[in-house]
Structure 1
Amino acid sequence: MTAGILDPTISSINSRSRPGGPVATTQAAAAPRVGSLRGKRMGLLENTKRNAAALLDALGTVLTETDHVDLVRMTKQEFAMPLAEDVVDGLIRDCDVVVIGVGDCGSCSAAAVADGIALEERGVPVAVLCTEAFEVTSRAMAGLKGRPDFPVLLMPHPIANLTDGDLAERGQALASRVRGHFLGPAA
């Protein structure tokens, strides 16, 4: 019996040396941006990571005050798994835009990006929040999902040890970036 060996250095970015040649990729669709956040239903999809809900609440508080969004809070119970189709359907039905967070480990960052791309393909603008420590993981998943340019809103790592005051400051700092993401051109 023989076993194949996977070469972890081969990627679709450097495909000239790939035994089978270049890997065909397609550009996944980006959702259109919104003209204004005023009155929009903003989904806050937290992934049960420590301080994820608190950070999204801090962000939501700011955007409720400044942009008059209506918040729709949801929890993803298994942070490393793709969203269940019924959850995707619920987000599409109940939200005009969605913020996903917080990607602060490899598997949850990759899953957050995959979920964001899946929602964008269905027409819902998404802002994915990840920490800088997992930028490479996030970008790798975006490439695998056909959106190598998928924007991920990066912030300092870690999140889990932040105090309530730190989380409020982080939410305040993220608000303008999230607003700009939703109002700006689609990636």
Structure 2
Amino acid sequence: MAVREALLDPTGMNERSTNSTLAPRPTSLRGLTVGLLDNTKVNATALLRGIADDLANRYGAVDTRLYTKDYFGTPVKDELLRKIARECDVVVTAVGDCGSCSAATVADGILFERAGIPAVSICSDSFAMSGAAMAQVQGFPGFEFLTIEHPVASLDAREIRQRAARALPDIVRIFGVGA
């Protein structure tokens, strides 16, 4: 008989909640401030800026603010989480393109949702299992995060822009906003 292994949290978070309720969704992005949480991985800033441009130009987001984490493999620190939650209406976190950064990116999204801020976490498709495992460990197995085609780090500016444009419909859908 197979024995199930316990899932371990690679980020070191020890305070877990079983709250799996999404933050209230906006009806529109028009006039909202979008927080962009860059985890310091290569091309995360470019991807987030491309997404921000589209959210402003196509959906009326009034402002976008870029924040940067200290380290890609750990969840956002409480102080930065609180700052973003005070200053922004919704958040996009990126980019998970390895195991630990994917887990941390999903953890970030869950932390924002639990703080009452709608969030979209972006990971590359090669690391979807890492993101899903983190959602399970954090007591939010149904947390929906966005996967984009792997790789991300080795792309040029044109390719990153294309990834951002292809991600936009799912970002808007996860935020719960109509086209």
User: Given the two structures, how large is their TM-score scaled by the length of structure 1?
Assistant: 0.84
Structure 1 runs (4+) greater than 4 angstroms displaced: none
Measured after TM superposition, the shift of residue 8 of structure 1 is 8.5
Which of 122, 127, 137 lines up with 2:130 in the alignment? Answer: 137
1:63 alignment counterpart = 55
Paired residues, what number?
167
2:72 equivalent to 1:113: no
* Percent identity (aligned): 39
**CA deviation string 1:111-132 (max 9, x = no partner):** 1111111110110000000001
Measured after TM superposition, the shift of residue 108 of structure 1 is 0.6
Measured after TM superposition, the shift of residue 140 of structure 1 is 0.4
Q: Which runs of 5+ in 2 are unaligned?
A: 8-16
> Measured at CA, do residues 27 and 86 of structure 1 come closer, stay the same or move farther in structure 2, by a change above 3 Å?
closer
2:32 equivalent to 1:10: no
Measured after TM superposition, the shift of residue 175 of structure 1 is 1.3
Q: Which runs of 5+ in 1 are unaligned?
A: 1-6, 13-24
Q: Match for 1:44: what amino acid?
A: L
**CA deviation string 1:22-76 (max 9, x = no partner):** xxx8343321111000011000111110001001111111111111211011111
2:22 alignment counterpart = 30
2:141 alignment counterpart = 148
For 1:106 and 1:76, locate their aligned partners in 2 and report how far apart those are by CA, in whole Å. 17
Which of 113, 117, 123 lines up with 1:124 in the alignment? Answer: 117
Measured after TM superposition, the shift of residue 134 of structure 1 is 0.5
Q: Based on CA coordinates, which of the two structures has the bigger radius of gyration? A: 1
Which of 85, 88, 95 lines up with 1:92 in the alignment? Answer: 85
Q: RMSD between aligned alpha carbons? A: 1.9
Contact preservation (8 Å) 2:20, 2:142:
no
